[in-house]
C-alpha cells in the first residue's frame, strides 16, 4: 500500500514558492462550478464531499518533509470544508481571488446562493489535480449528491493508495540517453538565448499595471464568458468541419489574429507563441482514466509569425499542424522530462513566455442533478499573478463556451474588451 510517497519534481513547483525565478504555481487552486436553480441541501453536500475524499486518497493527503524532499502522506479521513455564502457574481468573483487553507484539505467547496439560484463550487489544489480531474470530480460529486437526495444510502469507497506521479510514470517510457541529450540541448539553447539577449515573443502590452484605479484585490482575476446557444454552437461546429479543422483550431486562429490586431507595428510579421495545455494521461499506454485525481497537464509552446493580413483560418491551421507534429514526436513528454533533468543538474531554464494560452476542455457532458433542480451552466478557472491570459473553450450540454481568463492588474479592461468583442463578432459570424 502506497499511503505516502515523494512529491515528484513535476508536482513540486506547485508546493514550493520559487519566486520570480519560476512559474507562479505555488499553492494555486483550480476552481470548477455548476450553476443550478432549485433547492440545495448543505448537509447532503457535505456527505457527497466526504465520499470524494474517501475514494481519492490524494485529496486526503498532507504535505510533510522527508529525507529526500517533500512528501504526500494520506490521512485516514478528511472532511472537505463547505462554506455557505449569500450572493451572486460578486461573491463568486471574490472567491476566485482567494487561496484556501490547503493544510486542512486539498479539496474545498462553496455553496453561493442568490434566491433559488445557486453556484456549487469545488476548489482543488492544482498540485494534485488538473482541470480534467477537477471536472471529473464535479461530475462525481453530483452523482453522489443526486443519489443521496433520492434517499440512497451510499457506503464510502475507501482507497488509500496514492496514484503515481505523471512524470514518474512517463520516465519509464524513455531511455535515459534520449532525455540526457535533450536536457543538454535545452541547456545550450538557454545559454545562447541569455548571451544573445533574445527578445521574448510578442504579446499584449501590460495596460493594467499603470492603471490609476486598478480593481480591488478581490476582483483581480477576471473570468469573461462568451456563451452560444445550441443552434449557434451546431453552426459553428459545422463551419469548422467544413474547413477540415477542429473547433479548437478555429478558436486558436481567431484568438491569435485578434491579439495581433492590437500589437505594433501595424504591418509585417511578428514572432508569437501559442501556448496549449496537454493532458499527459492520454499519452500513457494504456491511458490513465479521467477519474484518476492527479495533476497530468503540461504546456506546449508553438512558435509562429503572424501578420495583420493573415487569415485566422491559416493561423489556426499552422498551429494545428505544428501541434499534431509535436504530439507525434512526443514533445510534451520529452521536453517535460528533459526540463526536469536539466533542473536536477542546476540548469536554470527560462520561464516560458507565450503570446496567449489556449485551454481546450473539450466536450463536457451534462452531469446529473436531483429532481426539482435544473442545471443551468458549468465553468472552471485557474489563475495566478504573472500568468499570461488564456482562452478556454468547451461545449457543455450542447452550448459553446469561449472564456477569457486574465489578471486585470496586468492586462487592462479596455484591451480585453476589444479582444472580447472581436471574438464575439467572429464566432457569431461563423455561426450565422
In this prediction, residue 211 carries a pLDDT of: 65
CA 252 to chain centre: 16
SS3 of residue 29 by DSSP: strand
Confidence band, pLDDT 50/70/90 cuts, at residue 193: confident
* Whether pLDDT at 11 is above 90: yes
In this prediction, residue 2 carries a pLDDT of: 79
In this prediction, residue 168 carries a pLDDT of: 97
> For residue 293, which of 144, 73, 158, 134 has the smallest C-alpha distance?
134
| Residue 172, Cβ density class (10 Å: 0-12 exposed, 13-18 middle, ≥19 buried) | exposed
From residue 425, alpha-carbon distances to 63, 69, 222, 234 in Å are: 47, 51, 21, 17
Q: Please give the angle made by the CA atoms of 120, 124 and 125, to the nearest 5 degrees.
A: 160
> For residue 223, which of 32, 425, 23, 28 has the smallest C-alpha distance?
32
SS3 of residue 16 by DSSP: coil
CA atoms within 13 A on the CB side of 26: 10
Cell 493561423 found at: 315
Which of 74-88, 207-221, 356-370 has the highest mean predicted lDDT (pLDDT)? 74-88
Peptide bond into 176 cis (omega under 30): no
Confidence band, pLDDT 50/70/90 cuts, at residue 24: confident
Furthest-apart CA atoms within the chain: distance in Å: 67
Cα-flanking dihedrals φ and ψ of residue 198, to 5°?
A: -60, 140
| 13-22, 29-38, 126-135, range with the lowest pLDDT | 13-22
From residue 219, alpha-carbon distances to 123, 252, 407 in Å are: 17, 27, 9
In this prediction, residue 20 carries a pLDDT of: 67
* Whether pLDDT at 1 is above 60: no
Helix 247-260 and helix 413-430, axial crossing angle in degrees, nearest 10: 140
| 36-50, 144-158, 241-255, range with the lowest pLDDT | 241-255
Cell output for 414:
479596455
> For residue 337, which of 179, 228, 208 has the smallest C-alpha distance?
179
From residue 256, alpha-carbon distances to 34, 141, 355, 373, 417 in Å are: 29, 36, 8, 39, 15
* Whether pLDDT at 16 is above 60: yes
Could you tell me what percent of the chain has a pLDDT over 90?
Answer: 78
In this prediction, residue 74 carries a pLDDT of: 98
In this prediction, residue 364 carries a pLDDT of: 84
In three-state form (DSSP H/G/I as H, E/B as E, the rest C), the secondary structure along 231-262 is HHHHHHHHHHHHCCCCHHHHHHHHHHHHHHCC
In three-state form (DSSP H/G/I as H, E/B as E, the rest C), the secondary structure along 81-147 is CEEEEECCHHHHHHHHCCCCCCCCCCEEEEEEEECCEEEEEEEEECCCCCHHHHHHHHHHHHHHHHH
| 43-52, 55-64, 209-218, 301-310, range with the lowest pLDDT | 209-218
Instruction: With 0.85 as the threshold, say if the pTM is over it.
Output: yes
In this prediction, residue 210 carries a pLDDT of: 62
In this prediction, residue 21 carries a pLDDT of: 66
Cell 498532507 found at: 62
Cell output for 90:
460578486
d(CA 372, CA 361): 28
Could you tell me what percent of the chain has a pLDDT over 70?
Answer: 97
CB 303 within 8 A of CB 243: no
Confidence band, pLDDT 50/70/90 cuts, at residue 143: very high
Cell output for 425:
463578432
Q: In what helix (H) or strand (E) does residue 305 lie, and over which residues does it extend?
A: strand 297-306
> For residue 399, which of 378, 424, 381, 420 has the smallest C-alpha distance?
378
Cell output for 320:
494545428
Tell me the mean pLDDT in the region 169-197.
92
SS3 of residue 45 by DSSP: helix
Domains of the chain: 4-149 (3.30.559.10), 166-364+382-430 (3.30.559.30)
Q: In sequence order, which ranges of 172-303 are alpha helices (DSSP H)? A: 176-196, 230-242, 247-260
Give the model confidence (pLDDT) of 402-425 as tens digits: 999 999 988 888 889 999 999 999
Residues 6+ apart with CB under 8 A from 19: none
Residues 6+ apart with CB under 8 A from 336: 10, 167, 170, 280, 298
In this prediction, residue 146 carries a pLDDT of: 98
Q: In sequence order, which ranges of 13-88 are alpha helices (DSSP H)? A: 42-55
Give the model confidence (pLDDT) of 235-284 as tens digits: 999 999 998 888 999 999 999 999 999 988 888 999 999 999 999 999 99
In this prediction, residue 202 carries a pLDDT of: 84
Which contacts of 347-352 are long-range, i.e. CB under 8 A and separated by 24 or more positions? 347/183, 347/186, 347/187, 347/190, 348/21, 348/190, 349/186, 349/187, 349/190, 350/190, 350/193, 350/194, 351/21, 351/22, 351/23, 352/23, 352/273, 352/275, 352/299, 352/301
d(CA 80, CA 323): 38
Give the model confidence (pLDDT) of 198-224 as tens digits: 677 888 876 666 666 778 888 899 999
Q: Is the alpha carbon torsion for 285, 290, 295, 298 positive or negative?
A: positive
Amino acid at each position: 500500500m502506497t499511503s505516502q510517497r515523494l512529491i515528484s519534481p513535476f508536482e513540486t513547483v506547485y508546493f514550493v514558492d520559487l519566486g520570480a525565478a519560476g512559474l507562479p504555481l505555488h499553492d494555486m487552486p483550480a476552481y470548477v462550478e455548476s450553476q443550478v436553480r432549485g433547492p440545495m441541501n448543505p448537509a447532503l453536500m457535505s456527505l457527497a464531499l466526504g465520499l470524494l475524499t474517501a475514494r481519492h486518497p490524494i485529496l486526503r493527503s498532507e504535505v510533510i518533509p522527508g529525507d529526500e524532499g517533500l512528501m504526500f502522506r494520506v490521512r485516514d479521513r478528511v472532511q472537505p470544508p463547505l462554506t455557505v455564502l449569500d450572493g451572486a457574481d460578486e461573491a463568486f468573483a471574490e472567491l476566485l481571488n482567494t487561496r484556501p487553507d490547503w493544510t486542512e484539505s486539498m479539496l474545498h467547496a462553496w455553496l453561493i446562493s442568490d434566491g433559488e439560484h445557486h453556484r456549487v463550487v469545488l476548489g482543488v489544489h492544482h498540485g494534485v489535480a488538473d482541470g480534467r480531474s477537477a471536472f471529473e470530480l464535479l461530475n462525481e460529486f453530483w452523482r453522489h449528491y443526486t443519489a443521496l437526495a433520492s434517499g440512497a444510502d451510499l457506503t464510502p469507497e475507501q482507497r488509500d493508495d496514492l496514484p503515481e506521479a505523471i512524470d514518474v510514470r512517463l520516465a519509464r517510457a524513455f531511455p535515459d540517453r534520449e532525455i540526457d541529450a535533450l536536457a543538454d540541448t535545452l541547456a545550450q539553447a538557454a545559454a545562447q538565448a541569455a548571451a544573445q539577449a533574445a527578445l521574448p515573443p510578442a504579446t499584449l502590452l501590460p495596460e493594467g499595471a499603470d492603471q490609476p484605479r486598478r480593481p480591488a484585490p478581490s476582483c483581480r482575476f477576471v473570468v469573461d464568458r462568451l456563451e452560444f446557444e445550441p443552434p449557434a454552437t451546431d453552426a459553428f461546429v459545422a463551419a469548422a468541419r467544413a474547413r477540415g479543422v477542429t473547433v479548437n483550431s478555429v478558436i486558436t486562429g481567431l484568438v491569435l489574429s485578434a491579439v495581433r490586431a492590437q500589437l505594433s507595428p501595424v504591418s509585417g510579421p511578428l514572432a508569437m507563441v501559442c501556448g496549449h495545455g496537454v493532458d499527459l494521461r492520454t499519452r500513457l499506454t494504456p491511458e490513465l482514466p479521467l477519474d484518476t485525481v492527479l495533476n497530468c497537464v503540461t504546456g506546449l509552446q508553438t512558435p509562429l509569425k503572424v501578420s495583420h493580413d493573415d487569415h485566422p483560418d491559416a493561423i489556426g491551421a499552422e498551429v494545428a499542424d505544428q501541434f499534431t507534429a509535436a504530439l507525434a514526436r512526443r514533445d510534451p513528454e520529452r521536453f517535460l522530462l528533459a526540463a526536469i533533468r536539466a533542473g536536477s543538474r542546476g540548469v536554470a531554464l527560462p520561464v516560458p513566455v507565450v503570446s496567449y494560452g489556449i485551454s481546450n476542455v473539450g466536450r463536457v457532458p451534462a452531469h446529473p442533478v436531483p429532481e426539482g433542480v435544473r442545471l443551468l451552466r458549468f465553468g472552471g478557472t485557474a489563475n495566478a499573478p504573472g500568468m499570461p491570459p488564456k482562452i478556454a473553450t468547451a461545449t457543455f450540454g450542447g452550448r459553446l463556451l469561449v472564456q477569457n481568463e486574465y489578471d486585470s492588474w496586468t492586462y487592462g479592461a479596455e484591451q480585453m474588451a476589444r479582444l472580447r468583442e472581436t471574438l464575439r463578432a467572429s464566432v457569431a459570424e461563423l455561426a450565422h
